Amino acid sequence: MPINYYIFLSLALFAVGIVGVLTRRNAIIIFMCIEIMLNAVNLLLVAFSKMHHLKQAATLATAGTNGQIFVFFIMVVAAAEVSVGLAIIVMMFRNVHSVDVNFLNRLKH
Amino acid sequence: MQNALQIVWLVPFFPLIGFLINGLFRKQLSKSLIAVLGSGTVLVSFVISIWIFLQVKNGNSHVAEYFNFISAGPFKIPFAFQIDALSSLFLLIITGVGFIIHVYSTSYMKEETAEHYGRYFSYLNLFIFSMLLLVMGANYVIMFIGWEGVGLCSYLLIGYWFKNTEYNKAANKAFIMNRIGDLGFLIALFLIIAKVGSVSFADVFSKASTLSTTNITIITLLLFVGATGKSAQIPLYTWLPDAMAGPTPVSALIHAATMVTAGIYMIARSNVLYSLAPVSQNVVAIIGLATAILAATIAMKQNDIKKVLAYSTVSQLGYMFLALGVGAYTAGVFHVMTHAFFKALLFLGAGSVIHAMGGEQDIRKMGGLKGKLKITYFTFLIGCIAISGIPPFSGFFSKDAILLSAFGHNKILYGIALFGALLTAFYMFRLLFLTFNGSFRGTDEQQHHLHESPAGMTIPLIILAILAFAGGFVGIPELFMKGGDKLSEFLSPVIPVQQGDGVSSSTEMMLMVISTVLVLLVIIYTWFRFRKYQAVEEKGLGKFLANKWYVDELYEQIIVKPLNKLGAFLNNIIERSVIDALVNGVGKLVNYGSRQVRLLQSGQVGSYVLLMVLSMLLVFVIQFFLRK
Amino acid sequence: MIPVLFIVIPLVSGLALFFFKNEKAGRSWALFSSMITLVVALLGLTLHPDNKYLQFSADWLGSLGSSFSVQVDGMGQILCLLTAVSYPVIFIATWENQYQKSNNFFGLMLLAQAGLMGVFVAMDALLFYFFWELALIPMYFLSSQWGGEKRVQATFKFFIYTFLGSVLMLAGIIYLYTQTPDHSFGIASFYKLGMLLPTPTQNWIFWLFFAAFAIKMPIFPFHTWQPDLYEQSNTSTTMVLSGVMVKMGVFACIRWLLPVVSIASYQWGDLVTSLAVTGILYASLVAIQQDDLKRLVAYSSIAHIGLMCATIFSETSIGFQGVMIQMFNHGINIIGLWIVVDMIERKCATRKISELGGLAQKAPSLAIFALIMALANIALPLTNAFIGEFMMFNGIFSSKITHYNVIFTVLAAISIILAAIYILNMIRKVFYGNSNAVTAAAQDITWNQKLVLSVLVILIIWLGVYPDSLLNLTHDLTDTILKKSDVLPLLMKH
């Protein structure tokens, strides 16, 4: 498959993520959109990694796996991050009974 | 072998010691001890000065170097004294007249408490010290030290009675006007250093002929600016009449006999330079003559006994500058000497009158004092005759020498100068008659209080009267006596003798007769006019003169007020509203800017993210499309 | 060894003071320490500037090309002596003044002394910058914590202003450092580099450095922090600021500006001198209008410093020597004036000239000392300032590198008239006339104040009569600096 397909897909995913983050007010949805963006980038990383080592891939089975391993790392870190983020959101909900980000403007202070 | 004159430092040393002891221990010492110290130190200096004078008379002269005053690389200014005919003559005048006035002061200031008595004498001694530095300096810088030093003492002594605000203002005025002159002197010094590379008299005069005329003219004019400040000439003369706020002996010593003649000394000392700059000479002559006439006209209408004498001093100084301007340096120095005698006499006489009148200085309230104050009257009369120039009193010889030189130089100058001499006779005899003749016009209390002054004051008067009478005999014109002009001969190593002034003996005789007869006529006219006092309302020209040509008011309007306005403008507008406002404005701008930028931080996570995305887009656009 | 002692003694004793409990002991400790420094400075004065005891060098940030190299040369001897003399004088004269947390006060004063000494002896640009800031920071605390009501505001302005200058200077130093062939902050490398730099580079480097120095001196129109700060901060602090600290700017111009960027100094010389001369006249005229004693002295100081700045940029041997000796003289004289002002304020509880009057009757000794200080301030002959001003005016007048030397001299010299006006008017209004309600209860000064003022007066007269005792120190140095900043061969090359 041409690399373009991957690029367009991840661009689309990323755009969806951005629009989601910008337009939605629910913290959980925003969170999910961030994850979508992260995964879009991950996808791109895998695709580029494969393409970068295309010539070696014909002879070497493990060629281009560096990027994919990295993606695993990223997913692990992202998972950790999600757990922390969700915990924060839960705490916020407990405190103010809302996950509306417009309502949560305490950063100003 | 070291020159015997190496010890001349002793001359200023003793007054300095007197100053230090009287100044530091004035609270501990008794008044009589202070008086003895104050006068004694000057007496010692006087004795040494006589010894020096005799040495110089035998043809000895010396430059005594003591240490390096200022040195910067190859340029050095030594602390050195120069003793020659001119300075030894001035030494005699300063310490001699100075001593007499110190003695006079011991009785005149008797009323003061010991502390202030000590202060007075320490100032006087400091003055003598500074004046000696001025005339003994072997270079312009040492001269300048004395020059400013006497200005300081003048300031201190004018403001001696410091509780009186008016006196203090007069003291400030004197110092500041002197400083204006000093500025000229200083710049002349810089020019001399730049062009000659040395400030010592010997170097400057020997290299004078190598300088361009323009340079010499500028130097001499600037030096003359200094002289107009110290010697009270147009335009800087107005401080001297105000300086009469000081005690009368101070007026006699500083503002008549010695300090104000510093300018004449300086120009006589620099005669080599002035002779090379005819333009400057003309300026000196014209300013001198103008001052002589201006001050004489003002003196005619003054009613304060000391003010009359003050304007008279300004006028006589003008004559001296006239003499210097026409190249008759010896005549100028001669007049300095005779003037020191008769003007000190007149001031001390005025002091005696003021003493008798209990502090009254207005001659309209005096009159008929000759009965009670016999010695004062006679000595004052001698002073008046001397200043008016009647032979054979001292003033005649010196004034005649000046008039004669003026005649040889320019007939118009002579005519105006003669007119000024008549004015002199007029205002002096007006003063004499109003004070001593007629009937007493003061209060009964004052009349009861009238008395002749104690011996401590009258003896100095008598000594000065003898000098005022006989002082002229050192400079008898050749016309009367061959070799009579001892002074020119004595001064010839410093001031070259002029070879004839182009005036024949018969003309000279005629001029003397004319001036003497005219002066006598004026005195007779004055006698009839002021024998009996009648109060007259001054109007027209009289009022103009009585108000001193409104010069003080003019200066106030064109210098003092604009300067104050400018200062206020700078202080209130420029400083506060422009410079400081700009500086503070920068601070305020930063403050304002950050307050505006702060609004971006709304706390809305959404807006942060939006901003982030937009910035990222911007970076992309720049990165991919705008970069070449 | 001596330059190290200059820094270490005040630094260590100053730090130690923060741990003192007893206030009286702290005060005595500070005085003792400053006395030791003075003794060391006097010892240093007896040595020839080439003596090895006046130099010290040790490794310090060697990887950056910076070393702890310090040396007391002729100019350093004069300024270290000034710093060393002024501290005991200030401590004794203000002995009776009460401070809150007085141990902190004296500790900070001593730290500032360490910084000042460091500036005067540093022979390494980074070290110089370090001490430059070290002197500033204690001053910030001193003037913001002890002083008048608006002191925080005034100090803030001062701090931001001088800090701005310092940062610009730091940028300049770092740029020069990157350009040195041997990557060194040493003064010798900087001097060598100066000859290689192209003119345009020199021009902007010049302004980076000069900004810091002009603000510190201060030169018109960068002076507005000074009257405010002097008025608001406490008098001891003001004495250090005006007596010693403003000399840093003048000093730095001679050591770090002229020999390094000589072509730019030559090219901008006329402009800087014009500013300085304008400042002299401007400050003198403004001083006449002041009613507050402290502001009056502040403006008079601006005028005097302006003259030093103008002289520096005229680049003459006699002028340089005049500036060097005048830095000392001005420090002594202005500290004397501040002592007098401080006493007047303590006796009468006001500094307003219009409210005072007749103090000479109540405090004759104070009046005499005030008069002598005032006369020294207006450069009367036989006082020290006359020597300095005479040489400086002479320097400007004989300058070969500007065409306007005569105009500059005449304009600058007008200040001697204006100075007489404001100083004598001040003396007249404060001391003469009849005493009034404000001054009626005033008493004369005490023995310790008489003592320090007498010491100052003796210094003033001594240096006025025999200035050669200090002038001797600076002959060689002047020649070296002049040779380094001589622009003509450089102009030929570029």
Q: What is the pLDDT of residues B192-208, one digit of tens each?
A: 999 898 899 999 999 98
Of B346-350, B517-521, C206-210, C342-346, give the lowest mean pLDDT range. C342-346
| C428 neighbors B172 (Cβ within 8 angstroms) | yes
Q: Say yes or no to pLDDT of C411 above 90.
A: yes
pLDDT confidence bin for B524, thresholds 50/70/90 = very high
Q: Say yes or no to pLDDT of C354 above 70.
A: yes
Q: How many CA atoms lie within 13 A of C252 on its CB side?
A: 32
**Unique residue bearing structure tokens 């002779």:** B275
Q: How many CA atoms lie within 13 A of C60 on its CB side?
A: 18
Q: Mutation target for A interface from B599, B605, B607: give the one with most A CBs within 10 A.
A: B605
**Unique residue bearing structure tokens 């030559």:** C266
For residue B577, give the chain C residue with the closest CA.
C224
| Alpha carbon distance B66, B81 (integer Å) | 8
Residues B22-39: tens digit of each pLDDT: 988 888 888 899 999 999
pLDDT confidence bin for B73, thresholds 50/70/90 = confident
Average pLDDT estimate for B264-288: 93
Helix (H/G/I), strand (E/B), else coil: B15: helix
| Alpha carbon distance B292, B321 (integer Å) | 9
Residues C128-143: tens digit of each pLDDT: 999 999 999 999 999 9
Q: Does the beta-carbon distance from B70 to C387 stay under 8 Å?
A: yes
- List of chain C residues whose C-beta atoms are within 8 Å of the C-beta of residue B165: 428, 432-433
Pairwise pLDDT comparison (B406 vs B539), residue with the higher score? B406
Average pLDDT estimate for C81-100: 90
What is the SS3 string spanning B142-200?
A: HHHHHHHHHHHHHHHHHCCCCCCHHHHHHHHHHHHHHHHHHHHHHHHHHHHHHHHCCCE
pLDDT confidence bin for C119, thresholds 50/70/90 = very high
The pLDDT of residue B500 = 59
**Strand-pair category, B75-83 with C55-59:** unpaired
State yes or no: cis peptide before B392, omega within 30 of 0: yes
- List of chain A residues whose C-beta atoms are within 8 Å of the C-beta of residue B614: none
Angle at the Cα of B608 from the Cα atoms of B603 and B612, rounded to 5 degrees: 165
| Alpha carbon distance C145, C154 (integer Å) | 11
| Alpha carbon distance B594, B601 (integer Å) | 11
Q: Does the beta-carbon distance from B603 to A21 stay under 8 Å?
A: no
The pLDDT of residue B325 = 92
| Alpha carbon distance B143, C18 (integer Å) | 55
Beta-bridged to residue B82, according to DSSP, are B63
Beta-bridged to residue B139, according to DSSP, are B200
For residue B616, give the chain A residue with the closest CA.
A18
CA distance C61 to chain B (A): 36
**Strands, E assignment, B380-499:** none
The pLDDT of residue C492 = 62
Residues C281-335: tens digit of each pLDDT: 999 999 999 999 999 999 999 999 999 999 999 888 889 999 999 999 999 999 9
Q: Say yes or no to pLDDT of B227 above 90.
A: yes
Q: In the 8-state DSSP scheme, what is residue A97?
A: S
> What are the CA-CA distances from residue C485 to residues A83, B412, C41, C257, C265 (Å)?
69, 59, 29, 9, 9
Q: Does the beta-carbon distance from A102 to B606 stay under 8 Å?
A: yes
**What are the tokens at A24?**
């939605």
Q: Say yes or no to pLDDT of B318 above 60.
A: yes
| C468 neighbors C64 (Cβ within 8 angstroms) | no
ipTM above 0.85, yes or no: yes
Of B502-506, C14-18, C257-261, give the lowest mean pLDDT range. B502-506
Q: Say yes or no to pLDDT of C494 above 60.
A: no
| Alpha carbon distance B358, B356 (integer Å) | 5
| Alpha carbon distance C49, C77 (integer Å) | 8
pLDDT confidence bin for B5, thresholds 50/70/90 = confident
The pLDDT of residue A107 = 62
Average pLDDT estimate for A64-84: 86
**Chain mean position to CA B225:** 12
Q: Mutation target for B interface from A102, A103, A106, A109: give the one with most B CBs within 10 A.
A: A102
Average pLDDT estimate for C385-396: 93
The pLDDT of residue B501 = 59
- The pTM assigned to this predicted structure is 0.89
pLDDT confidence bin for A109, thresholds 50/70/90 = low
| Alpha-carbon Rg for chain B in angstroms | 31
Count of other CB atoms within 10 angstroms of residue C73: 22
Ramachandran area for residue A51 (φ above 0: left; ψ -120 to 50: alpha; else beta): alpha
Does residue B539 belong to the interface with chain C, where contact is any CB pair within 8 Å?
no
Q: Mutation target for B interface from C311, C429, C468, C483: give the one with most B CBs within 10 A.
A: C468
Mean pLDDT score across all residues of chain B? 89
Q: Say yes or no to pLDDT of B463 above 80.
A: yes
The pLDDT of residue C23 = 86
- List of chain B residues whose C-beta atoms are within 8 Å of the C-beta of residue C282: 570, 574
Q: Are chains B and C touching, using the cut-off of 8 Å on CB pairs and a minimum of 3 such pairs?
A: yes
Average pLDDT estimate for C208-220: 91
Q: Say yes or no to pLDDT of B429 above 90.
A: yes
Average pLDDT estimate for B219-241: 92
The pLDDT of residue C457 = 95
Helix (H/G/I), strand (E/B), else coil: C286: helix
Q: If we measure between CA atoms, which residue out of B266, B290, B288 comes closest to residue B204?
A: B266
Beta-bridged to residue B64, according to DSSP, are B81
| Alpha carbon distance B273, B281 (integer Å) | 10
| Alpha carbon distance B621, B616 (integer Å) | 9
- List of chain B residues whose C-beta atoms are within 8 Å of the C-beta of residue A102: 604, 606
Chains in touch with A (≥3 Cβ pairs < 8 A): B
Q: Mutation target for B interface from C159, C163, C397, C408: give the one with most B CBs within 10 A.
A: C397
Burial class (CB in 10 A: 0-12, 13-18, 19+), C443: exposed
- List of chain B residues whose C-beta atoms are within 8 Å of the C-beta of residue C432: 159, 162-163, 165, 168
**What are the tokens at B208?**
């004078």
Average pLDDT estimate for B226-234: 92
| Alpha carbon distance C142, C156 (integer Å) | 12
Q: Say yes or no to pLDDT of B577 above 60.
A: yes
- List of chain B residues whose C-beta atoms are within 8 Å of the C-beta of residue A109: 603
Average pLDDT estimate for C435-442: 82
| Alpha carbon distance C332, C291 (integer Å) | 24
Q: Does the beta-carbon distance from C318 to B568 stay under 8 Å?
A: no
- What are the residues whose beta carbons fall under 8 Å from the beta carbon of B543, sequence distance 6 or more? none
- List of chain A residues whose C-beta atoms are within 8 Å of the C-beta of residue B613: 18, 22
**Strand-pair category, C55-59 with C67-71:** antiparallel
Does residue B600 belong to the interface with chain A, where contact is any CB pair within 8 Å?
no
Helix (H/G/I), strand (E/B), else coil: B66: strand
Nearest CB among B601, B604, B613 relative to A102 is that of: B604
Does residue B165 belong to the interface with chain C, where contact is any CB pair within 8 Å?
yes
Helix locations, B389-410, DSSP H: 394-409
Q: Say yes or no to pLDDT of B1 above 50.
A: no
Q: Please say whether the dihedral angle defined by the alpha carbons of residues B71, B72, B73 and B75, taken in this order, is positive or negative.
A: negative
In 3-state terms chain C splits into helix, strand, coil percentages (rounded to 5) of 75, 5, 20
Q: Say yes or no to pLDDT of B507 above 50.
A: yes
| B292 neighbors B414 (Cβ within 8 angstroms) | no
| Alpha carbon distance C240, C244 (integer Å) | 5
Residue A24 backbone dihedrals phi, psi, to 5 degrees: -80, 155
| Alpha carbon distance B527, B510 (integer Å) | 26
Q: Say yes or no to pLDDT of B105 above 50.
A: yes
The pLDDT of residue B414 = 92
Q: Does the beta-carbon distance from A107 to B613 stay under 8 Å?
A: no
Q: How many CA atoms lie within 13 A of B170 on its CB side?
A: 22
| Alpha carbon distance C9, C202 (integer Å) | 38
Q: Which of residues 579-608 of B touch C (CB under 8 A)?
A: 579-580, 582-584, 587
Q: Does the beta-carbon distance from B70 to C471 stay under 8 Å?
A: yes
Helix locations, B25-63, DSSP H: 31-57
| B319 neighbors B338 (Cβ within 8 angstroms) | no
Q: If we measure between CA atoms, which residue out of B49, B27, B26, B47 comes closest to residue B37?
A: B26
- List of chain B residues whose C-beta atoms are within 8 Å of the C-beta of residue C414: 183
Q: In the 8-state DSSP scheme, what is residue C52?
A: G
The pLDDT of residue A102 = 74
> What are the CA-CA distances from residue B533 to residues B443, B530, C22 (Å)?
16, 6, 81
Does residue B610 belong to the interface with chain A, where contact is any CB pair within 8 Å?
yes
For residue B584, give the chain C residue with the closest CA.
C157
pLDDT confidence bin for B465, thresholds 50/70/90 = very high
Pairwise pLDDT comparison (C474 vs B308), residue with the higher score? B308
**Cα dihedral: C329, C335, C336, C340 (round 10):** 160
Q: Mutation target for A interface from B609, B612, B616: give the one with most A CBs within 10 A.
A: B609
**What are the tokens at B135?**
């005339």
For residue A23, give the chain B residue with the closest CA.
B606
Average pLDDT estimate for B286-291: 94
Residues B343-389: tens digit of each pLDDT: 999 999 999 999 888 888 888 888 888 888 889 999 999 999 999 98
CA distance B24 to chain C (A): 10
